[in-house]
Structure 1
């Protein structure tokens, strides 16, 4: 009885033994395992086929398959599952291609058979008769098309089409029906091994295959699989001859397995791996004779492992890092893109590839491509640059330099400066050579555009900014003013741009640059130049910037501009200064002083209006009063001078000057010192004297008397000449006499009232001398509650009584600081004063001497009484003022608080 071992690699130590149930000499012809490892077909030499499912416990014969020697199986990778194979293709030794479907379900003794159906589809012919179907592969494309590749000993057939509609949509019947009337396309080779084998390379388990290898008599046909082509799945085909010692006449290959870059040929005693890129043998692995001859070799599509076996042993190949040296092969084939792809993670190898690619392009005179590659290598910079210089390829050199510049690190400033300067020189030389050639106009424009792209590139901005001085020198040496301005704008070096426009008298363009970038410092620098040529536009720009400009720094430009004294010049300066004062609210003295000077020179009518608007308070005006006075005096603006005098409170000078202009103006000035009647009277006397002596106008002089009540007729009379008749001021004299009479009556009434008041005071004093109070022996001090008569005491009319020291202690805290100091001084002097003595003349003399030296003891006591006993401490104002005083002194609050805890 034959036993079949099925080993699950996840449980390699627990093989599943399956009995084939055969006792005769029938041998296993071939075995076929699907891509999931769920379905196994065992083809016997007796034309029987057995089916084993991974989840099943026994071998099940396929009755419908009996009589067919199966040579190949095309599994359904799209529809196959663990329980069903879906529609599959079966190739036989008789050249038939059949369709079948297997199910793993077991229904007992009378259950359904595993082979659901088994039907013929097509017969492959070779040399006029049916030929064994050596290999079958079926694939479905993303567009729904079906691709079937079948091989015989010498031919490779392709079936391409779509599945039939309806119930058979998942099968292959519709595909093969198309080729009933005409044969499918095929490739044929003359030599034969007597068999052939087809292998696919699939990166992942259920992904589409990418390459194929067909082992046949003439060698190995290798190529790519492209399911996008309409008429053929095969592309990029190439036949690799067998290595020496391998072939139909020598040691024929038994099987073939395809990996990503190699196909492996199985021979009876060894395995040879051949590179699919070069056809060279990269591995020969010989097997010992004790294992017996090799039988077959397959690939596990899920893990990528390769399995080879003899009758006695099974061998496994584990492919690791197959692509590690592929880059060298691609490099030798000059397929640089693929070489770079397979060494991208190995910088040293990548550099080798780039150098080879650059050299190759240089030899092919593809200099720009060569420059781009050289820029990515670690080759010596000087060698590469010299190489392009010797070849006179300045454009390629510029490309190389530009890419090198982009690869520099921030710390490599010296190299960046060198490269940017060199690139600028190359571009400028190229532009200079092309500029005068009309036939090279397009090339000139293209070069200019590349140069500007280089100058404005954000990647190079940092390096260009660091090298801007040397680049400007280069641009100047080449006389390229256009790019000088362009580069200055890019570098935001607007000072250079504005200076360029000013040098070429393009003042409006210069102002446009200033207005666009709104840099105050540039306005300060170039305003002196621009204001001489476009004053109105410049002032408009100043006004537009508003408070961003410091008007003080623009005054020098305005001063130089307005020195000519022309009306237009002064008006523009005034326009801006008025904007600063009236709109921006500038309070800077220099600005107001300059506006005053402009008004004094060009607009006198606005001068007085400005001064009056500024106000009459010397602390609120923003101009220098002395400067304004001198300025107005120099230009003869007397009314403005009078106003400044008034602000300075120099009223006499204001009246004196106003009398030269207008008497009414002088009168206004004379009324200003409201608090000083003497000065006001003096000012009015000046006006009266001027009216009488200078204008000889008696009526106006009399009007002055009516305007100022301080003036009397007798004050004015000395100013009149002797010949003036009294009739002119008879009314004034009469009014004055009446006023004197009324004043005398008022004085008499006041004297009578003062006499009556004095009599009342004398009466009150007499009454006070007779008032007294009674102190009983049991009376106590209102503060300490001890008997009152034990110590000196005070008695108040309100009835409160205090010991002298208790009253002193109660009054002291409520006294102001200066009175407390006075109280301490009096106490100190009383303590130092000698006690009084009785009787003798000598005591009186001592007392008289002490009085001469200082206040007497009695005087000190009287002063102390006046300070302490002026009012009752409980009934007087002192108690009222203490209403908001805390009961506990804040300084002692914490102490009192702790005492209660």
Structure 2
């Protein structure tokens, strides 16, 4: 059985390793400058703990080989039976036991390989007795069965590239096997198979050599692509192959096809080596599909770099950094001593390599080649055999022939920032120091110093602003420079980073204002440079914090501006603190009217518009009106009228009218004073426009926006006669309108005379026109023309306007025509009288027929509503044949009556009941009988005005059957 120690064991365990800090010049006994007590006591990066493999007591022996993958651990014990045990580390379960003795007669196990699922175990065996050939065993995790793979007889398997992309618990998928002679085979092993599914030699690195072992072999696939990459290592060379396979290709042979036929040359790097082995290790995040780093332990040391993630890249391995292990220094030693000092293998982490020697493990930082960890294993611990890493969990294991350990990695990247800082890679150092403010401060200071030394002062200012360096020190450093941009940038950055400290903010703001004004007003500054500084200063002053500080400290800033005699910025400052009135006063006082108008538009106080527009209108009428129009509906137009009425020159009048037209036609202004004012201006300066305005307002007196009386006075005063006629017509002053029109336009007079709706008024107007045109002229032609234009005039109406001595011959034709018209009208009236007589006779006959009409009713007739005998109660019969009891019909008709009809019906019935009651008390008079008859007739007119079926229901066909569904639902419940 196996189990991890309790979590408390991590706390109680005291590692024997000697922890060496990474920072140069810093040792465990002598801390570097700036080191705290916490730095000296921090937890080592690497610390090991023992894992107790609970091996059954029946087996007594040492560990020979161990491999771990996906938390599955397989180990071979050196017992008389040579047993293989299989543990699942997270659970304390009994291990699986598989005896190997009968397969190892004359053989020895060279290695143990375990695939990424933890279920497929490959055990190469090499002969120890002459006459035997190398072989290997295959064991599946779910059963104790061991298979000898005969197809690979004579081939010593030294490396396996398992397929993490196609492999499953029941099948390895296509995998690659490397041999001791440099051959690479492809095969696939399955749980239930008796032999490999395939055996293909895909490549030969040995080229006929009998001893050229492949020590490392890895198969990789670029995520989300079909590009496969193979990395193979021998003692003196590292090889790379790559090819994009088709989606349905399961064979790996195609990766090597182009290399075999010479169309492509594999990547290879040869080295000189005295070692007869090498070790290949990859690192990636646990369970990551593509490792990101590679490391190769070879004769020149440890070569490492990154793995390409680009589909079109021609290189598989990127970068080739080297950690020189300096084997040559051991040349003078004996073979055994050299073997003891040579590294055997390594395990790779993100930033370190743990190198396994014969009696100790050394941890080296990949970034600066510093030793950060070193631990020796004493004899009582056992002989150090191997170090390995579970790619699924990322856990690193070390084992001796007696014990099994795991390594805990604590805060591996803790000093990476310092390493990058020493290398001058400040951006990377900043990334890794971001979580520790004190470390980040050190990095930024170094970064700022480097930028300053290079002359990149702007960048240095940005970096210095984020550090804890004293403000005074940095300021003095920048003030010595000719350019003041860096010091200003630095001060602005520090200002932005200040907490809410009013005093410090005020000091910085005033100092920055002084710096800016000095640059703006520097004597030898060009116009363009001054404009650039001014633009930057304007932006600075508009900042929220600066503007707030300026409002609270107006006096010192104003004094500073006055010292620099900068009138422009004095105005700008006043604007920034909202003192627009002062600015406008100064600008107007300096005759800078355009600037004053521009300042006016930059503020929202409408009172300032009402105050200064009269002055600005005097000098800039067009621009002022444009400004007013641009503000749209903000203004109360009637408040602006006093501003506009002050100027009477032509250029001012034109602009005032333009604004009033804009207010009326674009903004929909309805104030009467505004409309009266534009009528005044039209009547006085543009009379033709008055009538257009009046027509646009319309002829409905209730909808017009001007005062009619005022308009009439203005039009009469300035002799806008056409408009006066229009207004008189609007007031129904027809006679006055016609009389005025006759003074200047006969056509307008005739049009006006035709407007009255009453015929007698039109006749009077036309008679007035006739009198004006004929009287005193005796112009017969005009008289005849008037008769043609107006059908209301007759010849006898015009005759009084002629003198008594006019000859009748001139009127012969119109008089004859008039007599003919009279004769035709007499005939028409006579014909109408005859028709009326005939119609009266027909009506008399129809009434006589109605009196003689009757309807016969049988005694068995039923009411059309209640189906009971009709004659048992008062009833009503309609011409259509439907018959109803009076009360039945009343019940049906009542819901259809209007409220007025219902109220009237109740009143009539009450009056009728009162008459009936009186008949019992006193004698019935003829008057009472007549009154009762009238009431009954009125009741019948309301109730029996139309047949219920033939009239009322047809009229109600579009009404719903139910009006109150809520009540219906309640009734049903």
Aligned residue among 711, 723, 743 for 1:640:
723
Quick one: distance in 2 between partners of 1:58 and 1:566?
118
1:31 aligns with 2:123: no
Aligned residue among 122, 135, 147 for 1:57:
147
1:625 aligns with 2:708: yes
1:284 aligns with 2:368: no
- SS at 2:321's partner residue? strand
1:491-506 alignment runs, 5 A limit = 504-506=592-594
- SS at 1:433's partner residue? helix
Aligned residue in 2 for 1:436 = 522
Aligned residue in 2 for 1:202 = 282
Does the CA-based 8 Å contact 1:48-1:61 persist in structure 2?
A: no
Quick one: distance in 1 between partners of 2:890 and 2:357?
135
1:336-375 alignment runs, 5 A limit = 337-342=427-432, 347=435, 349=436, 351-361=437-447, 365=452, 372-373=462-463
1:648 deviates by 1.2
Tell me the alpha carbon deviations over residues 290-331 of structure 1, each in whole angstroms, 9 at most, x when there is no partner: x5x4142232464555555555x2423244446153447637
Query: What TM-score do you get using the length of structure 1 for normalisation?
Result: 0.56
Q: Residue 442 and residue 481 in structure 1: after superposition, are their counterparts in 2 closer, same or farther (change >3 A)? A: closer
- SS at 1:623's partner residue? coil
Quick one: distance in 2 between partners of 1:401 and 1:510?
32
Q: Residue 833 and residue 5 in structure 1: after superposition, are their counterparts in 2 closer, same or farther (change >3 A)? A: closer
- SS at 1:323's partner residue? coil
Tell me the alpha carbon deviations over residues 426-462 of structure 1, each in whole angstroms, 9 at most, x when there is no partner: 3872474376375999998987787789899xxx8x8
Quick one: distance in 2 between partners of 1:31 and 1:806?
118
Tell me the alpha carbon deviations over residues 173-195 of structure 1, each in whole angstroms, 9 at most, x when there is no partner: x999999xxxx66479xxxxxx7
1:128-527 alignment runs, 5 A limit = 150=235, 169=259, 186=272, 198-204=278-284, 207=291, 210-212=294-296, 221-222=301-302, 224-225=304-305, 235-239=321-325, 252-253=340-341, 255-258=343-346, 259-260=348-349, 261-264=351-354, 271=361, 273=363, 277=368, 279-280=370-371, 282-284=373-375, 286-287=377-378, 289=380, 293-300=382-389, 302=391, 306=396, 308-311=398-401, 313-321=402-410, 323-327=412-416, 330=419, 333=422, 337-342=427-432, 347=435, 349=436, 351-361=437-447, 365=452, 372-373=462-463, 384-392=470-478, 426=512, 429-430=515-516, 432-433=518-519, 436=522, 477=561, 479=566, 504-506=592-594
Quick one: distance in 2 between partners of 1:305 and 1:451?
59
Does the CA-based 8 Å contact 2:279-2:298 persist in structure 1?
A: yes
Quick one: distance in 2 between partners of 1:879 and 1:807?
11
Tell me the alpha carbon deviations over residues 11-31 of structure 1, each in whole angstroms, 9 at most, x when there is no partner: 9532452446557xx9x6x93
Q: Larger radius of gyration, structure 1 or 2?
A: 1
Does the CA-based 8 Å contact 2:358-2:385 persist in structure 1?
A: no
Q: Residue 428 and residue 264 in structure 1: after superposition, are their counterparts in 2 closer, same or farther (change >3 A)? A: same
Quick one: distance in 1 between partners of 2:318 and 2:888?
131
Q: Residue 484 and residue 334 in structure 1: after superposition, are their counterparts in 2 closer, same or farther (change >3 A)? A: farther
1:649 aligns with 2:732: yes
Aligned residue among 89, 97, 106 for 1:14:
97
**Higher RCO (CA < 8 A, seq sep 6+):** 2
1:602 deviates by 1.1
- SS at 2:97's partner residue? coil
- SS at 1:356's partner residue? helix
- SS at 2:724's partner residue? helix
Quick one: distance in 2 between partners of 1:810 and 1:441?
99
Quick one: distance in 2 between partners of 1:112 and 1:632?
116
Alignment size in residue pairs: 751
1:203 deviates by 0.4
Structure 2 spans left out of the alignment, 5+ residues: 1-78, 89-93, 116-120, 140-145, 165-171, 221-226, 243-254, 308-313, 853-858, 864-868, 875-884
Tell me the alpha carbon deviations over residues 830-870 of structure 1, each in whole angstroms, 9 at most, x when there is no partner: 96799779xxxxxxxxxxxxxxxxxx965565555555569
Query: What TM-score do you get using the length of structure 2 for normalisation?
Result: 0.53
Q: Residue 807 and residue 882 in structure 1: after superposition, are their counterparts in 2 closer, same or farther (change >3 A)? A: closer
1:238 deviates by 4.5
Quick one: distance in 1 between partners of 2:217 and 2:568?
72
Quick one: distance in 2 between partners of 1:113 and 1:685?
128
1:575 deviates by 5.6
Q: Residue 727 and residue 403 in structure 1: after superposition, are their counterparts in 2 closer, same or farther (change >3 A)? A: same
Q: Residue 122 and residue 664 in structure 1: after superposition, are their counterparts in 2 closer, same or farther (change >3 A)? A: closer
Quick one: distance in 2 between partners of 1:714 and 1:434?
94
- SS at 1:202's partner residue? strand
Quick one: distance in 2 between partners of 1:177 and 1:589?
94
Does the CA-based 8 Å contact 2:206-2:212 persist in structure 1?
A: no
Aligned residue among 660, 678, 682 for 1:599:
682
1:601 deviates by 0.8
Aligned residue in 2 for 1:40 = 124
1:339 deviates by 4.8
1:621 deviates by 4.4
Quick one: distance in 1 between partners of 2:648 and 2:357?
113
Aligned residue in 2 for 1:844 = none
Q: Residue 680 and residue 252 in structure 1: after superposition, are their counterparts in 2 closer, same or farther (change >3 A)? A: closer
Greater shift after overlay, 632-641 or 326-335?
Answer: 326-335
Q: Residue 282 and residue 427 in structure 1: after superposition, are their counterparts in 2 closer, same or farther (change >3 A)? A: farther
Quick one: distance in 2 between partners of 1:576 and 1:540?
8
Quick one: distance in 2 between partners of 1:434 and 1:673?
78
CA-based RMSD of the aligned residues comes to 7.9
Q: Residue 186 and residue 626 in structure 1: after superposition, are their counterparts in 2 closer, same or farther (change >3 A)? A: same
Greater shift after overlay, 255-264 or 469-478?
Answer: 469-478
Does the CA-based 8 Å contact 1:146-1:161 persist in structure 2?
A: yes
Does the CA-based 8 Å contact 1:60-1:114 persist in structure 2?
A: no
Quick one: distance in 1 between partners of 2:399 and 2:404?
6
- SS at 1:316's partner residue? strand
Does the CA-based 8 Å contact 1:305-1:316 persist in structure 2?
A: no
Quick one: distance in 2 between partners of 1:118 and 1:669?
118
Q: Residue 865 and residue 40 in structure 1: after superposition, are their counterparts in 2 closer, same or farther (change >3 A)? A: same
Q: Residue 300 and residue 506 in structure 1: after superposition, are their counterparts in 2 closer, same or farther (change >3 A)? A: same
Quick one: distance in 1 between partners of 2:273 and 2:403?
35
Q: Residue 79 and residue 452 in structure 1: after superposition, are their counterparts in 2 closer, same or farther (change >3 A)? A: farther
Does the CA-based 8 Å contact 1:402-1:419 persist in structure 2?
A: no
Q: Residue 805 and residue 569 in structure 1: after superposition, are their counterparts in 2 closer, same or farther (change >3 A)? A: same
Quick one: distance in 1 between partners of 2:279 and 2:554?
68
Tell me the alpha carbon deviations over residues 156-211 of structure 1, each in whole angstroms, 9 at most, x when there is no partner: x5688999x99894599x999999xxxx66479xxxxxx79755542049757534
Tell me the alpha carbon deviations over residues 24-65 of structure 1, each in whole angstroms, 9 at most, x when there is no partner: xx9x6x934568563525475989874323345349899968
1:599 deviates by 1.9
Structure 1 spans left out of the alignment, 5+ residues: 91-97, 124-131, 151-156, 189-194, 773-778, 792-802, 838-855
1:781-860 alignment runs, 5 A limit = 859=927
Q: Residue 808 and residue 463 in structure 1: after superposition, are their counterparts in 2 closer, same or farther (change >3 A)? A: closer
Does the CA-based 8 Å contact 2:343-2:358 persist in structure 1?
A: no
- SS at 1:325's partner residue? coil
